[in-house]
Structure 1
Amino acid sequence: MSTVITAASTTAPQAARDSDTSVRLAAQAAQDCLAQAGLPPHAVGVLVNVGVYRENNVIEPALAAMVQKEVGIGLDYLVEPVAGFSFDLMNGACGVLNAVQVAQALLGSGSTDRVLVTAADVHPGGHAGADPGYPYADLGAALLLERCADDDSGFGPVRTYSARGTEGTVGYADLSGASGDERRLITVRRDGDWADRLLDLTTDSVLGYVLEEGLALDRTLLVCNRPTTGFAAQMARRLDLDAAAVVASGAPATQDGEPHTAAPVLSYLQAVRDGLPEGYDQLLFVAAGAGPSVVCTSYRPVDR
């Protein structure tokens, strides 16, 4: 038994609206996934939301419950055949892959048949483009995961790697002011050596994962986020790979900033849009972020 991706989707704010919320973006991506799979909302047993930045710096209640309601999952326990459950899991850029690890455990135990992972970030003030110091795009994404009887397909083990030192990058809201507008502001601070430290850790992590899992790197397409400028090209050079072997998709042209928690889904869609390139039979998801930390997991598409 393995865990596979049944559907994947991303969504950006609509220009016709003044602003979009993280709940709306996550829910739209989730609904698109269900539509792709031809499934009703009650087919989902668990929803895991991994988005970090949200409108007005909302902390409680859990946004996962709001996304669940927006999608229409398990709203009536007396009528629905599946009792929906949802929770937030926040680990920045690595959140989607952490959620995959949780989904593997839930699906493997038979606790549920399907897990929906959502990720959405929006600037607390509602417009990422209006804040030049904020590096992330307003963007939502979703992955629909389920069990598969084919043990040769699906995700491999999810492994986390970390390095000592400062976090490297930190996002925080200063709510101590008296202006009343603090909930619409966010500060993202990065250390001067952040890019070099993260590149070193990511390279070591990929090589370590490949060795531990016995993967053939020359037949593996790396699917990465893009935490720093030129990250994909630098990774390819470090690993002595063709530039096309590392996919790190940027945000849509209409968006300011780089994808954050939604990045793995965006890069995955780009990687498999036309099927795997000739010579590649598997993917290696790589998410690098604050900590600094890196999460890796292999993936073999069902129809490879």
Structure 2
Amino acid sequence: MSVIIEQSAISAAPADAGSIDHAVAAARQCLDRAGVAADDIDVLVNVGVYRDGNVVEPANSALIQQGLGMHLDYQAGSGRSTFSFDLRNGACGVLDAVHAATALLTNGTVERVLIVGSDAHPGGLAHAPEDFRYATAGAAWLLSKNVDPEVGFGAIHIPPPRGRAPQTHPGVHGYLDLTSMGTLGQQTITVEAAEDYSAVLTETAADTLRYYLDRRPDIVSDRTILVTNNPVAGFATGLAEQFGFARGYQAMTGDRDAGSSGLAIAFHQLREQGELAPGTELVLLAAGSGPMAACVSYRVEEAA
């Protein structure tokens, strides 16, 4: 048995929609493409970070679940329901979600897990400054079991954040400035990037890849595509050249970082371009603030 990405999707919501709308749109399209009803999802995991109105409670996963009409009311005698929760770890959150989903799917607790990621400026596009680094976007992966143990996800490597000297910048720091936001708390977010962010993050990602490849001799780089999120320009291409991958591909969302949905977007874009034929070998790599990076191998399964 293995765990596969049964289906994927990118949000087709209007550009001025919020993070919840983008998550719902991506999830709905993903389910429609798979021919799966919303009520047939056992677990929904939301990995989004930048949220509409800076809402923390209730969990945004509950709002996404509501938007999908997914088990809105408890039905007496029903043995099936959907458990949803938020899991926030920036760009690497999607692989944390895959790790959790793999455990649930492998032990037979659930049959399908839906992972969604989306980000938007808390004040909407009307209040987003030009230097807000994150794209308003969303993506979804539907994970399920496959009988072929040679396809799907391999071992997942999620090291702790590399860390920096005390009191120094983690790379990208997003926070609410409580001393100056006044009455604009639902429209405001401060995002600062360290001057050396690109270099330090790329080095962190390289260390993560090196550790992973050294322990996975079955991964032949020159027959493998490196798929990444897009934290900095040229991220995937540079790493692919450094490690001898067949090619590198990173999420295409203009000049803005796709944030929590970056890796899922990149995978879906490659699939839509017809570049993920059965048997294609991938290494999925996500990297972001911490600085930290996480990766996993993936072999594309036969089409259903």
What residue is the counterpart of 1:188 in the other structure?
A: 191
For the pair 1:175 / 2:178, whether they are aligned, the reply is: yes
For the pair 1:283 / 2:282, whether they are aligned, the reply is: yes
For the pair 1:23 / 2:20, whether they are aligned, the reply is: yes
* Alpha carbons 1:44, 1:82 under 8 Å: kept: no
* Alpha carbons 1:128, 1:138 under 8 Å: kept: no
1:146-181 Cα deviation digits (max 9, x unpaired) = 011110011011111342304111111113336301
Q: What is the CA distance between 1:277 and its match in structure 2?
A: 6.8
What residue is the counterpart of 1:220 in the other structure?
A: 224
**2:210 alignment partner, one of 207, 212, 229:** 207
For the pair 1:264 / 2:267, whether they are aligned, the reply is: no
1:12-31 Cα deviation digits (max 9, x unpaired) = 5415xxx3221111111111
Task: Give the aligned CA root-mean-square deviation in angstroms.
Answer: 2.1
What residue is the counterpart of 2:133 in the other structure?
A: 135
C-alpha separation between the residues in 2 aligned to 1:192 and 1:85?
A: 40
What residue is the counterpart of 2:144 in the other structure?
A: 146
TM-score of the two chains, using structure 1 as the length reference: 0.91
TM-score of the two chains, using structure 2 as the length reference: 0.91
**2:248 alignment partner, one of 246, 249, 256:** 246
**1:236 alignment partner, one of 229, 233, 240:** 240
1:230-249 Cα deviation digits (max 9, x unpaired) = 2123223322445xx11102
What residue is the counterpart of 1:110 in the other structure?
A: 108
Residue identity over aligned pairs, in percent, reads 37
C-alpha separation between the residues in 2 aligned to 1:234 and 1:173?
A: 34
Structure 1 178/27 Cα, relative in aligned 2: closer, same or farther at 3 Å? closer
C-alpha separation between the residues in 2 aligned to 1:4 and 1:97?
A: 13
Structure 1 14/178 Cα, relative in aligned 2: closer, same or farther at 3 Å? closer
* Alpha carbons 1:94, 1:294 under 8 Å: kept: yes
What residue is the counterpart of 2:299 in the other structure?
A: 300
For the pair 1:40 / 2:37, whether they are aligned, the reply is: yes
**2:71 alignment partner, one of 70, 74, 79:** 74
* More deviation, 276-285/76-85: 276-285
1:39-91 Cα deviation digits (max 9, x unpaired) = 11111000000000011111111000111111122223316552110000000
Is the partner of 2:215 in helix, strand or coil? helix
Structure 1 residue runs of 5 or longer lacking an equivalent are: none
Structure 1 176/156 Cα, relative in aligned 2: closer, same or farther at 3 Å? same
* Alpha carbons 1:12, 1:138 under 8 Å: kept: no
Is the partner of 1:261 in helix, strand or coil? helix
* Alpha carbons 1:219, 1:279 under 8 Å: kept: no
What residue is the counterpart of 2:5 in the other structure?
A: 5
C-alpha separation between the residues in 2 aligned to 1:40 and 1:182?
A: 37
Runs of 4+ residues over 4 Å off in structure 1: 277-280
Is the partner of 1:164 in helix, strand or coil? coil
C-alpha separation between the residues in 2 aligned to 1:154 and 1:278?
A: 13
Structure 2 residue runs of 5 or longer lacking an equivalent are: none
Q: What is the CA distance between 1:279 and its match in structure 2?
A: 12
Q: Which amino acid aligns with 2:20?
A: V
Structure 1 128/211 Cα, relative in aligned 2: closer, same or farther at 3 Å? farther
Structure 1 82/52 Cα, relative in aligned 2: closer, same or farther at 3 Å? same
C-alpha separation between the residues in 2 aligned to 1:280 and 1:250?
A: 24
Q: What is the CA distance between 1:128 and its match in structure 2?
A: 7.6
* Alpha carbons 1:21, 1:55 under 8 Å: kept: yes
* More deviation, 181-190/113-122: 181-190
C-alpha separation between the residues in 2 aligned to 1:13 and 1:31?
A: 11
Q: Which amino acid aligns with 2:101?
A: A
